[in-house]
Amino acid sequence: MTPEPSEPPESFGHRLRRARDTRGPLCVGIDPHAALLARWGLPDDPAGLERFTMTAVEALADRVAVLKPQSAFFERFGSRGIAVLEKAVTVARAAGALVLMDAKRGDIGSTMAGYAAAYLDKDAPLRSDALTVTPYLGYESLRPALDAAHAAGAGVFVVTLTSNPEGDEVQRAAVRGTPGGARTVAQTVLDHIAAENRGAAPFGSVGAVVGATLAEADADLAVGGPLLAPGIGAQGAAPADLPRVFGAALPQVLPSASRSVLAHGPDIARLRAVAEQLADDVRNVSS
């Protein structure tokens, strides 16, 4: 007998929209800085990393829409750090949070496909709901990750406009051949993302990373997918800044905070209260 065709997985865009609607429009990063471990009274070693990470997951995974572990802070501990990351991803997803792996991978061909397999394949130990990627080897260098995400019902967030001053030399550079040099590299990336999401509703599954601390975006942010906005809290941006930066694209924004939430641990009740208040503040400026 011919097997029945399997149903395609639900898209990341649909799952993200539902998570935002039910849990609030907030992403919380899990960034186990050495300074944060010390603030919690924990050693800067794999045992301290695990205690910090799993406390954050326990506090937030059943109520925050998205958790965003920063892979670098786990990788620095080698295989024992990666084991903690694998555990955190599995437990967080089981509790209902979407997991966005902040690894900012970018390469070409089979190497990019390898990164995609590591984070997006359904059987991968680090299988996440979405992955951050870097497009500056050319947007089409991301194709293996985009294809893998589509097949898995996962998402991809493309680094586009960051708030660090050095970013301008690449992101704001004029694209050769455009009239008056008016089209920037960042706008070219945004246009590619919009094309990727065309026809998707309510959200496409390909998003852009646009810093909440920018003085202004100065770009067309109508990409048809989510806009991850890091920088809320410790980096200086507040929910009240979001309308100025994002304008008409505000309904697409997923603000992200890390240290400004995590600094209130290891008290689980306090972590929850701070995250819930921040989600309410974002909801108020977005309504």
Q: Would you name the residues annotated as active-site residues?
A: 104
- DSSP, collapsed to helix, strand or coil, labels residue 84 as helix
Residues 245 and 210 sit within 8 Å (Cβ to Cβ):
yes
What's the rounded Cα separation, in Å, for the pair 225 and 252?
A: 7
Quote the CA–CA distance of 124 and 150 in Å, as a whole number: 16
Q: Inter-axis angle of helices 268-286 and 46-60, to 10 degrees?
A: 50
What is the residue-wise DSSP string for 189-243?
Answer: HHHHHHHHHTT-SS--SEEEEE-TT-S---S----SS-EEEEEESTTSB-GGGHH
Backbone region of residue 54 per phi and psi (left: phi > 0; alpha: psi in -120 to 50; beta: other values): alpha
**Residue 178 gets which letter from DSSP?**
S
Query: Do 30 and 57 meet the contact criterion of CB atoms below 8 Å apart?
Result: yes
